[in-house]
A and B are shown apart, each in its own frame.
Chain A
Amino acid sequence: DAGVTQSPTHLIKTRGQQVTLRCSPKSGHDTVSWYQQALGQGPQFIFQYYEEEERQRGNFPDRFSGHQFPNYSSELNVNALLLGDSALYLCASSLAVEGYEQYFGPGTRLTVT
């Protein structure tokens, strides 16, 4: 049973560039959430996708956008990258009918220079 997978593992971008991160949920899960984790901090909620729509959003600017595909996989896009966007980006999947137990992927480490 495959768990949550994310790609790429690491990424280095320059300020002003755009980036796309990808997530495949745990088999059978239909909901994907994205989190940003700065060094030494807990993860901060970015947004959540269910039935291909953004269901909830945290306190992040519009530069952060996402998408969920019919197979439940998801992408996180960040435009006009800032140095402060450097962080570990975590994807978590869950099954809507089962409540709030979320399974996390290993994350994508984004470095903006």
Chain B
Amino acid sequence: TQLLEQSPQFLSIQEGENLTVYCNSSSVFSSLQWYRQEPGEGPVLLVTVVTGGEVKKLKRLTFQFGDARKDSSLHITAAQPGDTGLYLCAPGKNDYKLSFGAGTTVTVRA
């Protein structure tokens, strides 16, 4: 079982501030996925990172995959209340089973 540690567990910031959340493991991943789950909804896939050192941008969200493919970070610039949610990471695996970390709960205050 590949254990994922996500940090911090909770994050509360003011609108307009920046934030970074982390996803770490001792295992090497072939790829890693980031999801956001809003209250009352299921998780929604944000991005899949595949190559070590890869950086992907999705509007104000920047995703980075570590060179060794053991860790990843998600940075949000100028956070908005709509960014509020539970951010989850999961290794992408060919057997289609997702093993999520515990997630980071992000609250952006207006």
Contacts and interface: CB of A to CB of B under 8 A. Distances in A.
A92 B41 CA distance: 12
Interface of A: 4, 31, 33, 35, 40-45, 48, 56, 58, 90-92, 94, 96, 99-107
Contacts of A43: 43, 88, 98, 100
Given A4-B42, A35-B98, A100-B94, 13 more contacts: A31-B96, A41-B103, A48-B97, A94-B96, A99-B96, A100-B98, A102-B45, A102-B96, A104-B42, A104-B44, A106-B40, A106-B42, A107-B42
B42 A58 contact: no
B66 interface: no
B103 A33 contact: no
Interface string B76-110: 00000000001010101111111111110100000
Contacts of A45: 97-99
B102 A48 contact: no
B42 A105 contact: yes
A41 B102 contact: yes
B103 A42 contact: yes
20 contacts: A4-B42, A33-B96, A40-B102, A40-B105, A42-B6, A42-B86, A42-B100, A42-B102, A42-B103, A43-B88, A48-B96, A56-B95, A56-B97, A58-B97, A91-B42, A99-B96, A102-B96, A104-B41, A104-B42, A105-B42
Nearest to B89: A42
B93 A100 contact: yes
A83 B50 CA distance: 40
A101 B45 contact: yes
Contacts of A100: 92-94, 96, 98
B31 to A, nearest CB: 9
Contacts of A90: 42-43
A36 to B, nearest CB: 11
A36 B90 CA distance: 15
A33 B97 contact: yes
